[in-house]
Amino acid sequence: MPQLKNRLLDWSESVVGGRCVDVWIAGGGSFVDEVRNWQTLHGLDEETAHRISIGLMSQTAEIFQSMFLDWPLLVNVQQLDTVDPVATPNVVFNCQHWALNNTALESSWETTSDSISLRLAAEIGASHLFLLKSRTPQSGQVSDAIEDGLIDKNFISGRNNQSQPKTSITNLRESNKIVELTW
């Protein structure tokens, strides 16, 4: 997306900020798509493909953070406790270590940055999870978004009724319209 930085800044300023630290997780994008191709062509097992893909998310986190140099790149959840939301309202979370050591996350293509983000949001007690996508969901139902391939199949298994953040999807390419998801 050519204007990614400006779109993210505009979206962030219009929706979030000021109240808490906004934790950003970058998906693997086309890098992970290439792992899928390698798996198809060369028969990588799913667990290996998942581990490599999580490693690529680490690389995209660094690339993402390089667009926002005043947003620190954090590598463990405990660092989030030390961030002052007034001084540092945005951080980029390199989820590699956390995700690979989280036994609740299945090592398969059914677990993407969507499920990883939901699990992290629940663990840190986030009040809201925003999934930024390249298209708009057909409805506000989680099951429809899964069926449509907009979010991964394991997303629903990441639901935790006790610490469930409000969850929304925004199509960053076309609009900043927020679609709140219902379970």
Neighbours of 139 (CB within 10 A): 13
CATH code of residue 75: 3.40.1160.10
| Structural domain total, the chain | 1
pLDDT at 161: 60
pLDDT score of 15? 74
Give residue 39's pLDDT: 92
Among 176, 155, 175, 157, CA closest to 167: 155
Q: Tell me what pLDDT residue 160 has.
A: 65
The low-confidence residues of the chain, meaning pLDDT below 50, are: none
pLDDT at position 135: 87
| Residue range of the domain that includes 122 | 4-180
Round to whole Å and give the CA distance between 29 and 44: 19
| CA distance from start to end of the chain | 30
Quote the pLDDT of residue 72. 95
